Amino acid sequence: MKIYFATKNPHKVKEVSMIAPKGIELMPLPPSIPDAPEKGSSFLENALFKALWYMEHLGQAVVADDSGLEIDYLEGFPGINSSRFMQGRDYREKMEVILRMLEGAPSRSARFVCQAVFVSPDGTVLGANGVVEGRIAQSIRGDKGFGYDPIFVPEGHDKTFGELGESVKSQISHRSRAFRELFRMMEIVLQLKGRE
């Protein structure tokens, strides 16, 4: 089954394609589609907004995700605003600002969160959530991955996602956890529908 991944972020497509089961081939969005508005107040609302927007434009089932970094000392910031925080500036600058905000912080605990959804024109809506706990490093390390990967050290590791790279990330990341569960649910539901 070919299915659109309703994202404008090519890193997400690459990460999720690595863990997609054999029967599911993810396709990137055609570039001509206008960006979905993200005005929800939670990861789930934003994931649904995105998925429904692109499903309406394509007339086909899609998967989508909304994700972000939550830092406990900053009360969950940047959270659902992870992409919009200092919009237009590069991630090195964003990460430098975050590291400054954490100077002297008693705790650097943080997590990546991903809400994945599947929607189809027949009204099927499925959702799955994935989390990876960890901490914010003392400095920017590594150049693999994207976004905040070079300052996030997942639990059980000493290196950042930026140093660990895609093979480790695909095992333990918030996105891989959410999409593995979503794909399991999709397989069950699509099988049931095939029997109808």
* Integer Cα distance of 93 and 104 in angstroms: 19
68 is a site residue for ligand ITT (CB under 6 A): yes
Count Cβ atoms below 10 Å from residue 100 Cβ, excluding itself.
Answer: 8
Q: Which is nearer to ligand ITT, 148 or 183 (CB)?
A: 148
Q: How far is the CB of 59 from ligand ITT (least distance, A)?
A: 19
* Integer Cα distance of 59 and 93 in angstroms: 39
Q: Which is nearer to ligand ITT, 24 or 111 (CB)?
A: 111
Q: Which of 120, 149, 163, 183 binds ligand ITT (CB under 6 A)?
A: 149
Q: How far is the CB of 105 from ligand ITT (least distance, A)?
A: 20
Q: Which is nearer to ligand ITT, 115 or 188 (CB)?
A: 115
Q: Which of 114, 74, 109 is nearest to 94 (CA)?
A: 74
**The amino acid at 159:** K
Q: Which of 40, 21, 122 is nearest to 84 (CA)?
A: 40
Q: Which is nearer to ligand ITT, 38 or 187 (CB)?
A: 38
66 is catalytic: yes
Site for ligand ITT in 114-143 (CB under 6 A): none
Site for ligand ITT in 3-42 (CB under 6 A): 7-9, 12, 38
Instruction: Enumerate the H helices of 28-157 as residue ranges.
Output: 43-58, 91-101
Sign of the torsion angle spanned by Cα atoms 7, 9, 13, 18 = negative
And the tokens for 105? 């912080």
Instruction: Give me the catalytic one of 35, 66, 143, 158.
Output: 66
What are the CA-CA distances from residue 150 to residues 46, 129, 141, 154, 180 (Å)? 25, 23, 5, 11, 24
81 is a site residue for ligand ITT (CB under 6 A): no
List residues binding ligand ITT (CB under 6 A). 7-9, 12, 38, 50, 66-69, 82-83, 112, 145-149, 173, 175
User: Which residues are catalytically annotated?
Assistant: 66
